[in-house]
Homo-oligomer: A and B are copies of this chain.
Amino acid sequence: MQRVCIIGCGAIGSLYAAHLARVTEVWCLVRREEHAQALNREGLRVSGRHKFHVTLKATTRPEDLPDCDLGIVATKAAQVADSIAPVGHHFDGGAIISAQNGLGSEEIIAEHTRGHVIRGTTFMSGTKHSDTNVQYELDTATWLGPFEPRATPYATVEQAAELIVSGGLKAEALHDARPAQWSKLIFNASVNGVSALTGLPHSPHFADESDFGGLGHLLHELINEGKRVAAAAGVELHQDPWEMNKIGAMTNHPPSMLYDVRHQLPTEIDFLSGAIAREASRVGVPAPLHTAVYRLIKGKEAAWTFQDENSPVAIQRTAH
């Protein structure tokens, strides 16, 4: 794996790009022209748990990209289709990792490349301070496994994991990555939905089962519902999402969907509670709570453009 392309350089994409650029040729495909120019001019600096600086190549133009041995799609789930469509053919002879939250990104990637698709799940975290500076925070592993419908060879998964490890990040090749992906899916779907609907970040409320109104009851029920769907889909979980939630509840970190609704950005709900609801329907088990969360977040997104008579926007409109 001589040449790697990172598609989307937010915090996670920047961490992959910088670490891999220490050991191989790295290209970054980004959306903003000034982002590409800054990366080409200044390279990428990592702070936090690791401290180093690398140079690498960046572009916004699919036609500039050479064919690559490995790709990592690190955009948000909702942007996967648009970002992979024009460049998928550059990976026809290689492999490409999905690093999105939730379910469904592998299927989208596979539609646009003939390469080997790798099911990726990452728990590492970072903060992007600028286009050329990313802070490495949580150094948890990236779990990699074959995307089953594409029959990706396990040896290819191992090569990708070894390359990431040689760059200084943690990665683990698994014969079946679904137990890890589903553990994170159930945890993520449950906390992101509740956080976006209440406005609470990860907080002690999420594990509070001390009285009837406690949000911990709701989180527990959402997680149990997700576990029943996983079991019906034949997936044995890698970690217990309720234990993950209890750890999360000790932080006060705002989940990404809370950030999204605060800034009225499209959420990843289709890939989180929406994915659990779809899988539940496919395998024939009920998922009323994730389905309710899915519809409420869809309604919230609709509210950003639908204004009632007493909303600030409508009052302003009337005043003109």
Binding site for B on A (CB under 8 A): 194, 197-203, 205, 212-215, 217-218, 221, 252-254, 259, 274, 277, 288-289, 291-292, 294-296, 298-300, 302-304, 306, 308-311
Contact call A252/B288, Cβ cutoff below 8 A: no
Contact call A300/B253, Cβ cutoff below 8 A: no
Q: A221-B288, A288-B221, A288-B288 are in contact. Are A203 and B298 (CB under 8 A)?
A: no
Report whether over half of chain A's contact residues are helix, strand or loop; otherwise say mixed. helix
Chain B residues within 8 Å of A212, by CB: 277
Contact call B253/A308, Cβ cutoff below 8 A: yes
Q: A214-B295, A289-B292 are in contact. Are A205 and B254 (CB under 8 A)?
A: no
A192 to chain B, nearest CB (A): 13
A303 to chain B, nearest CB (A): 4
Whole-angstrom CA separation of A298 from B295 in the bound complex: 19
A-B contact pairs, 9 of them (CB 8 A): A194-B299, A197-B300, A198-B299, A200-B300, A213-B298, A214-B295, A217-B291, A253-B308, A289-B292
Q: A288-B221, A289-B292, A295-B217 are in contact. Are A302 and B198 (CB under 8 A)?
A: yes
Closest chain B residue to A198, Cβ basis: B299
Contact call A308/B194, Cβ cutoff below 8 A: no
A92 to chain B, nearest CB (A): 34
Instruction: List 16 other contacts, CB 8 Å, given A203-B306, A205-B302.
Output: A197-B300, A198-B296, A198-B303, A199-B303, A200-B299, A200-B308, A201-B308, A201-B309, A215-B295, A218-B295, A221-B292, A254-B311, A259-B310, A288-B288, A288-B289, A289-B289
